Chain A
Amino acid sequence: MTASDTSAPQPASKWPRWFTRERRRMAWRFLIALVVLVFFLFPVYWLFITSIKSAGDIFARPPVWFPEQPSFRIFGVLFKDGDVWAIYNSLIIASVSTVAAMILGTAAAYSLARFKTGGQNLAIWIISQRMIPPIVIVFPIFLLFVWFGWIDSYVGLILLYIAFNLPYVIWMMRGYIEDIPVEVEESALTDGCSRWQALRKIVFPMARTGIFATAVFTFIFAWNEFVFALILTRTEVLTFPVLVTHYYGAQSTFWSKIAALSVLGTLPVFFAVATLQRFLVRGITMGAVKG
């Protein structure tokens, strides 16, 4: 390396001068970080290449790491057979339930944040609803839905996901609203704004990043949810995680379909993470860590 020539008078160091101790440490950490990254991303890579492998490559032994003739044939099959319907169902159910949960939840959160409605006990009761395992409450809901004819319908799953995500929305939005200085609102109220005007003109605009972040998380939770969807759907409104498990046959497993549908079902989440980085920590810890 040329740098070592110029540093010739320097007493014995096997490293060139610009490569200081600090930088060597950073290089080491960078290398370890790369290895860690490979471990965490390799499965995702494997899922992706499985979805674009040709029919022969899927069952090649030893497995093919770099498909030479990638094809998106299987995605075409999913579209042609109507399997992408599950993605469409997931999209409808997750978006509608997110919008509804955000409206209900933000209103409730405002009440909790500004008026301390019901005191701490109400707040704790609300978030405790989030901790109950789905499997414990799903059976009565199943019976209720049979009674109403809501099994395998959009309305049933949407209502359930609203309820399922509501505690999360209320809890998160309470934190975001508490972050807004109450003085701004007070001065608006003394200036003659009604409560609703204060909400619309001050609270919502000031909390909009929080609203956006919470909505994206709510969407992801509904998008990824499995247990409720498994039990409360049959054929008409299958969501994509449920359809993925249908491809596991007793005799044969449709690996390429599993991979392709999983890739389609992961794309929205990739997008969400890319837009949300700043809010990730707060979002996944239910506001306990503000990042």
Chain B
Amino acid sequence: MTVAAGRDPNFTHRASLFADRHFKWLVIAPSIIVLLLIGLYPLVHTAIVSFQDITMLAEDTSWSGGKHYAALFSDTRLWESMGHTFLILAIALPIELVLGLLMAQLFLEKMPLKQVFVALLIIPTVISPIVAGSTWRLMFDNQYGPINQIINWFTTEHVAILWLSRPEWVYPAILVCEVWQWTPFMFLILLAALSNVDRSLIEAAEIDGASFWKIFFKITLPVIKPVLIIAILIRALDLFRIFDIIWAMTKGGPGTMTETISIYTYIRAFKEFETSYAGAIAFLVIILLSIIVIFALKRVEIAR
């Protein structure tokens, strides 16, 4: 670039505008290509496969119409796994939310060692879910785990609960692990949200004699609501695809008692090699999820 051109304000302006039109697409293009390849291509492929008839034994690529989709309706194991997923979601999420909120309230005010406590409390959330599941599998072990031992301190007769193989105990065990791992997540987010609530407002309300609950619903909740919604959405999406914790603890057992939708899809696709049928399940999941995701993203984008 010549010195003269560099000094001409109009020239540089036009030049940079021209460059920018390419530049902005140039820098984003590689990412878009990668995402199309790994994000969009599999969706299209899954859609195609789900209308064919591919299994481990037969590579039949002729069109089979919607027969796999029709079969979904009579697949009780599928709907049970859907039920298990929503059962875990419906129990774990409210517990995590309430416990997280209580803990956030506890740590809101000044306390010695507060930063250290918060840092330590977050550990469960960041460790691998496989490690979390394995840890609780150790804890719940009927012979060598400490939980049955602790229970025996309070009982007169000897108890040895088979936590992970008894139908009535396996869900409590999984839920304890899930709540243990993700309550700190809720706690950390809500602690940040609660810190934004104006203390002087609360103090004024206290002087006026407002009850704790009244203060919570009238002052605190409106402030933390946007954050609360985002936290719930993130966790709901995670819980919808829950796989790792359960895989580490029970692999979906006993029987198919704790199969979630992700585990069931995995088994159909990679253990029973029913490719086309698993494709149909996957697409059902995508449709269900799209409804939540579109709603969720609008919220997240608005909150930014």
Contacts and interface: CB of A to CB of B under 8 A. Distances in A.
A280 B128 CA distance: 16
Interface string A225-250: 01100010000000011001100000
A260 to B, nearest CB: 11
B269 interface: yes
Given A127-B297, A262-B134, A281-B189, A107 B28 contact: yes
A209 interface: no
Interface in B23-50: 23-25, 27-28, 30-32, 34-35, 37-39, 41-43, 45-46, 49
Contact of A108 (B28, B144, B270): B28
A129 B297 contact: no
A75 interface: no
B165 interface: no
Interface string A101-128: 0001101101110110110100110111
B121 A40 contact: yes
A273 B126 contact: yes
A136 B286 contact: yes
Interface in B41-84: 41-43, 45-46, 49
A285 B149 contact: no
A244 B248 contact: yes
A12 interface: no
Given A117-B24, A192-B6, A280-B122, A288 B138 contact: no
A80 B115 CA distance: 39
Contacts of A123: 301
Interface string A180-224: 000000000110100100000000000000000000000010011
A88 interface: no
B111 A29 contact: yes
Given A33-B111, A131-B293, A289-B227, A259 B138 contact: yes
B30 to A, nearest CB: 5
A289 B25 CA distance: 29
A128 B237 CA distance: 11
B120 interface: yes
Contact of B304 (A245, A266, A288): A288
Interface stretch (B89-97, B200-208, B214-222, B239-247): B239-247
A291 B297 CA distance: 20
Given A43-B135, A135-B241, A285 B231 contact: yes
B131 A262 contact: yes
A89 to B, nearest CB: 14
A289 B192 contact: yes
A155 B99 CA distance: 42
A288 B227 contact: yes
B135 A262 contact: yes
B123 A63 contact: no
B233 to A, nearest CB: 9
B170 interface: no
Interface residues of B, number: 101
Given A132-B286, A160-B38, A281-B189, A231 B270 contact: yes
Given A46-B146, A131-B293, A284-B189, A139 B269 contact: yes
B106 interface: yes
Nearest to A26: B111
A105 B28 CA distance: 8
A166 B34 contact: yes
B25 A117 contact: yes
A29 B145 CA distance: 30
B303 interface: yes
A126 to B, nearest CB: 7
Contact of A284 (B41, B125, B131): B125
B119 interface: yes
A140 B45 contact: yes
Nearest to A284: B185
Nearest to B29: A108
Contact of B128 (A36, A112, A189, A266): A266
A288 B43 contact: no
14 contacts: A30-B112, A65-B146, A108-B30, A135-B266, A136-B265, A142-B270, A170-B31, A195-B16, A195-B23, A226-B244, A227-B244, A227-B262, A273-B119, A289-B231
Interface of A: 26, 29-30, 32-33, 36-37, 39-41, 43-44, 46-47, 50, 58-63, 65, 104-105, 107-108, 110-112, 114-115, 117-118, 120, 123-124, 126-129, 131-144, 159-160, 162-164, 166-167, 170, 175, 189-190, 192, 195, 220, 223-224, 226-227, 231, 240-241, 244-245, 255, 258-259, 262, 265-266, 269-270, 272-274, 277, 280-281, 284-289, 291
Given A40-B180, A195-B19, 10 more contacts: A61-B143, A108-B28, A115-B20, A131-B297, A163-B37, A224-B128, A226-B243, A227-B243, A240-B128, A277-B118
